[in-house]
């Protein structure tokens, strides 16, 4: 099908892959793709036909998500297409790489299981904020169709479907806000988590369901936010694990928690594409043992120092300058892919032990709040790092999800039992298949 | 509502044992029952092969036909008879059988493909034998070697795929089968050359293979060592 109808709506026929997204197609392999997933659980089973209709209406407003990835001579690019993805049944193993046979040429899939609507997306297309916008706008439209509700557009995640797509939504904001001052990208390698590989293609998911009020109360005892408190618990568990690691060479490395930061709070960008950076918080277990208070102080000060506009800008500006370099641009894509893949292997995931990506508290508008019972954020497997952590709070509950490709559950056990000792009740749920 | 006695976490109704430590939940008052709707369905997604098979079939057919037609025409027009083009066409079909055929079918029949591959090799060498005017080496050397190879390869595949042994033991058995294959090859070659039946080079090749098989069996029995190796080699 031609892309003319999209062009008529003022949507570009093709787009350059954004600065942060460029690494993902290069680093991907047949086994691995940077995929993550956000889901909403409603109070009633989902009507698949209505959801398909809602998806059709939503992608008209958010056509950017239907773009497909193509190879150019020098860079990958995104090309508009008019097809609408079909709703798929959910599976026990989320976040599998995209394939043309199952997903068409789309880079996101909408899945349904009982009361849950999930969006799985390839990171080349959007970061968490963009995907949350797609998911919540879709759910709002679904609820409108089902209950004839009038859910108002609510910043930042729910868009008005009667509006036309705005060009700022597909802007690559990195070069817009980058400056000439760059920051060196090199860092000290982090302690790597390792374990017994799990079944191939089966991401093991464990979700901890925590009362947000109790969690916030526990964090406030230390004068910390929920994000800082969770980060500190994870870092302390990692530091304890690293200190007990028999491999002396690795034991001396810092444990590092990578925490993605949306750049939209620094700049007036409304983009739905990738526009986030990260902060890697290190703790050095080799220098001695740390109390939770110590680590909370480290996280607070490290985040406070790193999360200034100047340092954030310098971090992403170095990537923008590299992309715009006259020496790099004319290199053929095949060669660039080799270099970028090597860079990803040598630097990408080597600089952190695990990721904690926290979407924070999601405020839903009146009408939607009554129907949304739960949200989940699952980060797909890393290329080499076997465990990632996603977090989202909604309806008074926080959902902390550990997703991993190893069998051992040591990190999540340490983190969640630490929460229990702090007086915060935790309920756990997993995607393990029942033994027969 | 059940709690893990080891970790202290509450378990969701879908959990039969603790996802964190594996401790089983034993509620003396009621047996665990799976919930009506589990949090995740029982369907497992499988990764799809990234080959457009229909396109590949058409491409291979076009390439083979073009190759056959061009070879035939050049051969016939150059000296008025068929001289070298059967080799080119036969070779192309052989390569097609070996490398392209398994990619064109969605089903997995490795045994069938092995037999097809060797049958194709047999036919190609039969063509060579007929065109060079000698079936002697074909019948007394090639056919016994071919049958022995297919037999051993099928047994190796059976050992690796079907036996329900630990995988290192299966690899060890496969090594032993390869160790047996080599004296068989030597005896066929010596019999074709009219030499007396003795094992010379095959003995020196078979002994290290047997040592490797033995080492694999020992590693299989040593669980800590095996786990350490798996961890080190985890990609």
Mean pLDDT by 10 residues, chain B (235 residues): 89 91 83 86 76 70 86 86 86 84 71 88 91 85 93 91 85 92 93 86 92 91 80 59
- Tell me the backbone φ, ψ of residue A26, rounded to 5 degrees: -70, -40
Q: ipTM of this model?
A: 0.86
Q: Which of B10, B13, B5, B30 is nearest to A434 (CA)?
A: B13
Decide if domain A4-177 falls under CATH 3.90.1170.20. no
Chain A residue numbers with beta carbons less than 8 Å from the beta carbon of B230 are 196-197
Check if the beta carbon of residue A187 is closer than 8 Å to that of residue A280. Answer: yes
**Interatomic CA distance for residues A317 and A311, integer angstroms:** 10
Decide if domain A204-308+343-430 falls under CATH 3.40.50.720. no
Ordered strands of the A68-71 beta sheet: A14-16, A76-79, A68-71
Polymer length of chain B: 235
Is A201 close to B45, i.e. CB distance below 8 A?
yes
Using a 10 angstrom Cβ sphere, with 0-12 exposed, 13-18 middle and 19 or more buried, the burial of residue B141 is middle
Angle between helices B167-192 and B201-221 (to 10 degrees): 170
Q: Identify the closest residue of chain B to A195 by CA–CA distance.
A: B231
Chain B residue numbers with beta carbons less than 8 Å from the beta carbon of A33 are none
pLDDT at position B110 is 80
Q: Is A434 on the interface with B (CB under 8 A)?
A: yes
Best residue of B3, B21, B36, B47 to probe chain A, by most A CBs closer than 10 Å = B47
Is B10 close to A417, i.e. CB distance below 8 A?
no
The CA angle B92-B97-B103, to the nearest 5 degrees, is: 115
State the DSSP code for A210: E
Check if the beta carbon of residue B143 is closer than 8 Å to that of residue B186. Answer: no
**Interatomic CA distance for residues A70 and A82, integer angstroms:** 15
Count CA within 13 A, CB hemisphere, residue A309. 8
Is B12 close to A96, i.e. CB distance below 8 A?
no
**Identical fold, A4-177 and A204-308+343-430:** yes
Element spanning A78, H or E: strand A76-79
Q: What share of chain A is helix, strand, coil (3-state, %, to 5)?
A: 35, 25, 40
| Extents of the domains making up chain A | 4-177, 204-308+343-430
A428: nearest CB among B15, B44, B52: B15
Chain B residue numbers with beta carbons less than 8 Å from the beta carbon of A31 are 47
The CA angle A395-A39-A228, to the nearest 5 degrees, is: 60
Q: Is B37 on the interface with A (CB under 8 A)?
A: yes
Q: Is B14 on the interface with A (CB under 8 A)?
A: yes
CA distance A383 to chain B (A): 9
Is A420 close to B7, i.e. CB distance below 8 A?
yes
CA distance A102 to chain B (A): 8
CA distance A71 to chain B (A): 16
Positive or negative, the CA dihedral B200, B203, B206, B211 is negative
Chain A residue numbers with beta carbons less than 8 Å from the beta carbon of B45 are 91-93, 96, 102, 201
| Extents of the domains making up chain B | 1-42, 52-134, 160-235
Angle between helices A226-243 and A292-306 (to 10 degrees): 120
Is A426 close to B227, i.e. CB distance below 8 A?
no
3-class DSSP string for B116-162: HHHHHHHHHHHHHHHHHCCCHHHHHHHHHHHHHHHHHHHHHHHHHHC
Check if the beta carbon of residue A93 is closer than 8 Å to that of residue A12. Answer: no
Q: Is A89 on the interface with B (CB under 8 A)?
A: yes
Chain B residue numbers with beta carbons less than 8 Å from the beta carbon of A102 are 45, 48
pLDDT at position A192 is 94
Q: Is A99 on the interface with B (CB under 8 A)?
A: yes
Q: Which of A98, A6, A63, A57 is nearest to A273 (CA)?
A: A63
Chain B residue numbers with beta carbons less than 8 Å from the beta carbon of A384 are 235
pLDDT at position B106 is 62
Distance, first Cα to last Cα, chain A: 47
- Predicted TM-score of the model (pTM): 0.74
Ordered mean pLDDT values, 10 residues apiece, chain A (436 residues) = 52 90 85 93 96 95 93 90 92 90 90 96 95 96 92 86 91 94 87 90 95 97 97 97 89 94 95 95 94 96 96 93 89 87 84 96 92 96 92 96 95 97 96 68
Tens of pLDDT, residues B118-133: 999 999 999 999 888 7
């Amino acid at each position: 099908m031609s892309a003319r109808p999209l062009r008529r709506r003022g949507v570009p026929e093709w787009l350059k892959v954004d600065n942060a997204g460029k690494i993902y197609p290069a680093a991907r392999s047949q086994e691995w793709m940077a995929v993550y997933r956000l889901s909403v659980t409603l109070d009633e089973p989902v009507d698949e036909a209505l959801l398909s209709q809602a998806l059709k209406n939503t992608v008209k407003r958010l056509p950017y998500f239907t773009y497909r990835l193509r190879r150019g001579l020098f860079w990958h690019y995104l090309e508009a297409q008019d097809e609408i993805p079909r709703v798929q049944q959910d599976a026990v193993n989320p976040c599998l790489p995209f394939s043309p046979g199952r997903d068409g040429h789309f880079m996101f899939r909408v899945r349904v299981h009982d009361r849950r609507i999930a969006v799985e997306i390839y990171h080349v297309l959007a970061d968490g904020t963009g995907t949350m916008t797609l998911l919540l706008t879709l759910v709002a439209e679904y609820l409108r169709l089902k209950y004839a509700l009038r859910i108002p557009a609510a910043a930042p995640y729910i868009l008005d479907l009667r509006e036309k797509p705005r060009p700022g939504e597909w802007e690559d904001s990195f070069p817009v806000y980058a400056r000439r001052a760059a920051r060196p990208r090199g860092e000290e390698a982090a302690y790597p988590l390792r374990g017994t590989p799990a079944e191939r293609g089966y991401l093991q998911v464990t979700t901890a369901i925590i009362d947000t009020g109790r969690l916030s109360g526990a964090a406030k005892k230390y004068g910390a936010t929920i994000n800082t408190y969770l980060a500190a618990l994870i870092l302390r568990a990692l530091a304890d694990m690293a200190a007990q690691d028999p491999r002396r060479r690795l034991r001396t490395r810092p444990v590092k928690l990578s925490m993605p930061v949306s750049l939209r709070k620094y700049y007036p960008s409304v983009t739905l594409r990738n526009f986030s950076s990260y902060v890697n918080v290190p703790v050095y277990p080799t220098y001695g043992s740390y109390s939770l208070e110590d680590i909370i102080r480290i996280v607070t000060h490290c985040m406070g120092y790193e999360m200034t506009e100047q340092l954030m800008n310098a971090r992403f500006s170095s990537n923008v300058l590299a992309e715009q370099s006259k020496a790099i641009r004319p290199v053929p894509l095949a060669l660039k892919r080799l270099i970028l893949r090597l860079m990803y292997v040598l630097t990408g995931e080597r600089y952190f032990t695990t990721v904690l990506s926290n979407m924070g508290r999601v405020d839903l508008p009146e009408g939607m709040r009554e129907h949304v019972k739960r949200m989940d954020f699952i980060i797909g497997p890393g290329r080499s790092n076997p465990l990632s952590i996603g977090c989202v709070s909604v309806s008074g509950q926080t959902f902390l999800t550990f997703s991993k490709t190893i069998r051992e559950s040591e990190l999540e056990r340490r983190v969640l039992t630490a929460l229990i000792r702090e007086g915060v009740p935790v309920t756990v749920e997993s995607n393990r298949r029942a033994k027969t | 509502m059940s709690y893990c006695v080891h970790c202290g976490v509450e378990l969701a109704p879908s959990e039969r044992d603790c996802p964190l430590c594996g401790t089983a939940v034993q509620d003396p008052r009621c047996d665990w029952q799976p919930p009506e709707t589990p949090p995740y369905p029982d369907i497992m997604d499988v990764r799809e092969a990234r080959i457009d098979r229909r396109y590949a079939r058409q491409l291979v057919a076009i390439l083979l036909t073009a190759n056959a037609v061009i070879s035939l025409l050049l051969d016939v027009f150059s000296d008025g008879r068929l001289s070298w083009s059967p080799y080119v066409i036969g070779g192309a079909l052989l390569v097609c059988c070996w490398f392209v055929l398994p990619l064109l079918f969605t089903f997995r029949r490795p045994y069938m493909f092995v037999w097809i591959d060797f049958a194709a090799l047999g036919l190609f060498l039969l063509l060579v034998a007929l065109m060079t005017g000698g079936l002697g080496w074909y019948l007394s050397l090639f056919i016994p070697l071919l049958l022995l190879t297919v037999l051993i390869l099928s047994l190796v595949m059976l050992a690796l795929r079907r036996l329900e042994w630990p995988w290192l033991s299966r690899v060890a058995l496969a090594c032993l089968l390869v160790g047996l294959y080599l004296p068989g090859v030597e005896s066929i070659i010596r019999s074709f050359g009219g030499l007396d039946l003795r094992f010379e080079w095959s003995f020196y090749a078979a002994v290290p293979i047997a040592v490797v098989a033995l080492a694999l069996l020992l590693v299989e029995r040593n669980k800590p060592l095996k786990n350490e190796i798996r961890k080190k080699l985890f990609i």
